[in-house]
Amino acid sequence: MTLTLYYHPLSSFCQKVMVALYETGIPFTPRFIDFVKEEDRDALLKVWPMGQFPVIRDEAKARTVPESSLIIEYLTLNFPEGASLLPRGGETEFEIRYWDRLFDLHVNQQMQIAMAERRKPEEERDAAASKRAAGQIEAAYGLIDAHMAGREWAVDDGFSMADCAAAPALNYAKLIVPFGKHGNVAAYHDRLTKRPSFARALKESEPWLQYLATE
Ligand X SMILES: N[C@@H](CCC(=O)N[C@@H](CS)C(=O)NCC(=O)O)C(=O)O
Q: What is the SS3 assignment for 4?
A: strand
Give min distance, CB of 100 to ligand X, in A: 10
Among 52, 61, 142, 203, binds ligand X (CB under 6 A): 52
Segment interacting with ligand X, rule: CB under 6 A, options 63-71, 77-85, 143-151, 156-164:
63-71
CA dist list (Å): 182 to 144, 147, 167, 177, 189: 9, 11, 16, 11, 11
Nearer to ligand X, 29 or 52 (CB): 52
DSSP assignment string, 96-164 = HHHHHHIIIIIIIHHHHHHHHHHHS-GGG--HHHHHHHHHHHHHHHHHHHHHHTT-SSSSTTSS-HHHH
The answer to whether 76 contacts ligand X (rule: CB under 6 A) is: no
Within residues 139-198, the interface with ligand X by CB under 6 A covers none
Residue 51 binds ligand X, judged by CB under 6 A: yes
SS3 state of residue 43:
helix
* Residue of 5, 11, 160, 167 that binds ligand X (CB under 6 A): 11
Site for ligand X contains 204 (CB under 6 A): no
Sites of contact with ligand X (CB under 6 A): 11-13, 51-54, 67-69, 104
